[in-house]
Amino acid sequence: MILLWQTQQSLQHVVQLYATQARQAVDLTRDIELLQRRSRDLERLVRQYNIIKNAQLQGLISQQLQQVLQSLNNLCDQAPQQTLCEQLKDTLARLDENSDENTLSLYFAGLSQQLNEFETLAAEQLDASLASQQLQVSDMQSRLTWQTLALVLTTVLMVWGGSQLILGPVQQLRNLINAIGTRDKALPLRRFEHPYELAQLDTRLRWLAFRLQELESVRHAMLRHASHELKTPLASLSEGCALLADEVVGELSTSQREVVGLLNDSVRRMQNLVEELLDYNRLLQDAESRPVQLAIAPFLDEVLTSHRLTAAQQHQQIDYQIEAQNWLVDKNLLTRVMDNLLNNAVAYGLQDSTIVLRIWNDENHQMLQVTNACQSTQSLDPKRLLEPFERGGQERNDGRRGSGLGLSIVADCVRMMGGKLDIVAAGSGEFSVLVSIPMHRERV
């Protein structure tokens, strides 16, 4: 707006300059023509008087001479040429209408020459004035250009400063949202009080984080109590089903044995689900990673020992490739990751197939990949598979109904170690889970 105001003021000034110049040029041209015309009229009257010697013409000559002097005075005021003006006035004062023809001819020739010189000087003065105005306009244009540049730079600096005042709090809000999303107990401190709206948003987000922590605590407590309360009646049901199956209370018919078998399967499934819920709840409560130096080969042999028999029952083989000697990780969390990944690979992998496990280091990350062949994976959504209780719609090889907590537990364990989990489900039926864990610099 300052620039627009300055531009308008400059434009008005330029218009006034050129309007004044044009008016002066018009007035000067008109007065010079009037002076020339009156001088010619004066010359005609004098020559007439010189011939007929009429007293009336003498009065007209005096009147015309006064008009010529008046026009000259007006021109001298507009285009002051003092020396030439004085010469013209002196020439007009020496007019003698009674002179002979030759004298008059010489007189009016000299007067005409002086008038032409006066007109030339007035035109030169008008051109000089126009050139001066053009210099003023150029100077005004240059000044306006520099003012424009200064205003643009000032505006850029103000915009940059204003954006910094906003981007800083926005970045802190982004960090706060990330901390809330990752369930970080230590929220970043607020280092700004303005803008007021963003400060209020920060306050509401911290209130939301507090409420989420309260709800999470309530959820964990409810899950823990519900799981513990279920264990006792389930143990009684399991013991009762075992007594019935052993026919301790009497011989069972074929139909009764089938019913008891169904009850046993349901109770075992319920017990497994309760154990998985308790395990998942303990995992969520223990949200700290304790990295130690871990030898990969002995650790892998220990983990695979409990899975080879289950894989053999499904006519599956487990091959592994170790390209790293030692890792700096939380052993308990890594054990949970590998147990759940191998359980899923055995449960959902095709029979007579091979489960491939690979461990290696990639720059600053420790990489783990488990790949198995399975049914068509076109309908699987990798993101949804990481949600708790999401089963993916695939049938298990053992006929059991999974809880859908396996990959969710893996994702939480990887997150606690600061890592990243990716699922690659190829349409051809290959399912691969890639775990990337950063190399920790400090060891516990």
The SS3 call for residue 4 is helix
State the pLDDT at residue 442. 45
State the pLDDT at residue 150. 87
**Long-range contacts (CB closer than 8 Å, 24 or more residues apart) made by 273-280:** 273/403, 274/227, 274/230, 274/231, 274/234, 276/403, 276/405, 277/223, 277/226, 277/227, 277/403, 277/405, 278/224, 278/227, 278/228, 279/409, 280/223, 280/388, 280/405, 280/408, 280/409
The structure tokens 């990295």 sit at: 291
Q: Which phi and psi (to 5°) does residue 249 adopt?
A: -95, 5
- Residues found in the chain: 444
**Long-range contacts (CB closer than 8 Å, 24 or more residues apart) made by 107-113:** 108/43, 108/46, 111/39, 111/43, 112/39
State the pLDDT at residue 426. 57
CB 414 within 8 Å of CB 393: no
User: How far is it, in rounded angstroms, from Cα 36 to Cα 45?
Assistant: 14
State the pLDDT at residue 195. 78
> What's the CA angle centered on 388, arms 382 and 391, to 5 degrees?
60
State the pLDDT at residue 444. 35
pLDDT averages per 10-residue partition of the chain, 444 residues: 78 78 79 84 83 80 85 76 80 78 84 83 79 81 84 88 83 84 75 82 86 76 68 77 78 80 77 69 64 88 82 83 86 86 84 87 88 70 65 58 70 85 73 85 42
* DSSP category for residue 339: H
- In which region does residue 250 sit, left (phi positive, over 0), alpha (psi from -120 to 50) or beta (all else)? left
User: How far is it, in rounded angstroms, from Cα 388 to Cα 273?
Assistant: 13
The structure's pTM equals: 0.46
Tens digits of residue pLDDT in 176-200: 888 877 666 678 888 778 778 888 8
Q: In 215-236, which positions are buried (b, 16+ CB within 10 angstroms) versus exposed (e)?
A: eeeeeeeeeeeebeebeeebee
Q: In 338-376, which positions are buried (b, 16+ CB within 10 angstroms) versus exposed (e)?
A: bbbbbebbbbbbeeebebbbbbeeeeeebbbbbbbbbee
* DSSP category for residue 380: -
Q: Which phi and psi (to 5°) does residue 371 adopt?
A: -125, 135
Instruction: Write down the H helix ranges in 291-433.
Output: 296-313, 331-348, 382-385, 406-416
**Strands 354-362, 317-322: parallel, antiparallel or unpaired by DSSP?**
parallel
State the pLDDT at residue 376. 61
Give the count of beta carbons closer than 10 Å to the beta carbon of residue 260.
19
Say which residues have a Cβ less than 8 Å from residue 85's Cβ, sequence separation at least 6: 72, 75, 76, 118
User: How far is it, in rounded angstroms, from Cα 386 to Cα 388?
Assistant: 7
Say which residues have a Cβ less than 8 Å from residue 192's Cβ, sequence separation at least 6: 168, 169, 172, 198, 199, 202
Angle between helices 82-93 and 55-78 (to 10 degrees): 170
State the pLDDT at residue 267. 78
User: How far is it, in rounded angstroms, from Cα 37 to Cα 25?
Assistant: 18
State the pLDDT at residue 443. 40
User: How far is it, in rounded angstroms, from Cα 305 to Cα 308?
Assistant: 6
